[in-house]
Amino acid sequence: MSETTAADVVRKVEEAPLGDLVRISIDEVQVQMDSYLDAEMDSASFYRRWEKQQWAVQDLDFSADVQQWTSLDEGQRDTVRRTMTLFFIGEQAVTDTLSPVLHAAPHEDERIFLATQIADEARHAVFFQRFFDEVLEVHGGLGAALRAVSPAATAGFRKIFETHLAEAVDVVRRKPHDRKAWVEAVVTYHIVIEGYLALSGQRSLLRFFRAVGLMPGFYTGFTAVARDESRHVGFGVMALRRRIREDPELARAVTLKMLELAEPTVQTVVNPDNRLRLPDPETTQPDMRQSPLELRQFSLDQTGKRLRAVGLSDTTVDEVLEAYRGNYEKYWSLYEQKQGVEHPVRWYQRNLA
> How many Cβ atoms are within 10 Å of 11's Cβ, its own excluded?
12
CB of 231 to Fe ion, least distance (A): 8
CB of 345 to Fe ion, least distance (A): 28
Spatial distance between the Cα atoms of 101 and 234, rounded to a whole number of angstroms: 16
| Contact with Fe ion (CB under 5 A) among 123, 124, 164, 243 | 124
The packing angle between helices 216-246 and 179-186, to 10°, is: 150
**Measured from the CB atom, is 96 or 133 closer to Fe ion?**
96
Give yes or no for residue 121 binding Fe ion (CB under 5 A): yes
Spatial distance between the Cα atoms of 300 and 304, rounded to a whole number of angstroms: 6
CB of 160 to Fe ion, least distance (A): 14
Spatial distance between the Cα atoms of 200 and 291, rounded to a whole number of angstroms: 13
Give yes or no for residue 49 binding Fe ion (CB under 5 A): no
Give yes or no for residue 34 binding Fe ion (CB under 5 A): no
**Measured from the CB atom, is 110 or 229 closer to Fe ion?**
229
Spatial distance between the Cα atoms of 39 and 258, rounded to a whole number of angstroms: 21
Spatial distance between the Cα atoms of 55 and 221, rounded to a whole number of angstroms: 9
For the four alpha carbons of 243, 245, 248 and 253, in that order, the dihedral sign comes to positive
Q: Which of residues 204-223 bind Fe ion (CB under 5 A)?
A: none
Using the contact rule CB under 5 A, the part of the chain among 32-40, 120-128, 173-181, 213-221 near Fe ion is 120-128
Q: Is 308 exposed, middle or buried (0-12, 13-18, 19+ CB in 10 A)?
A: middle
CB of 98 to Fe ion, least distance (A): 9
CB of 285 to Fe ion, least distance (A): 31
C-alpha angle with apex 121: 204 to 50, nearest 5 degrees?
A: 95
Q: Which of residues 63-102 bind Fe ion (CB under 5 A)?
A: 91
The contact mask relative to Fe ion for 188-207 (x = CB under 5 A, - = no) is ------x-------------
**Measured from the CB atom, is 134 or 194 closer to Fe ion?**
194
Spatial distance between the Cα atoms of 199 and 309, rounded to a whole number of angstroms: 17
Give yes or no for residue 110 binding Fe ion (CB under 5 A): no
Q: Are 106 and 179 in contact (CB under 8 A)?
A: yes
| Contact with Fe ion (CB under 5 A) among 130, 180, 203, 232 | 232
**Measured from the CB atom, is 31 or 93 closer to Fe ion?**
93
List interacting residues with Fe ion (CB under 5 A).
Answer: 91, 121, 124, 194, 229, 232
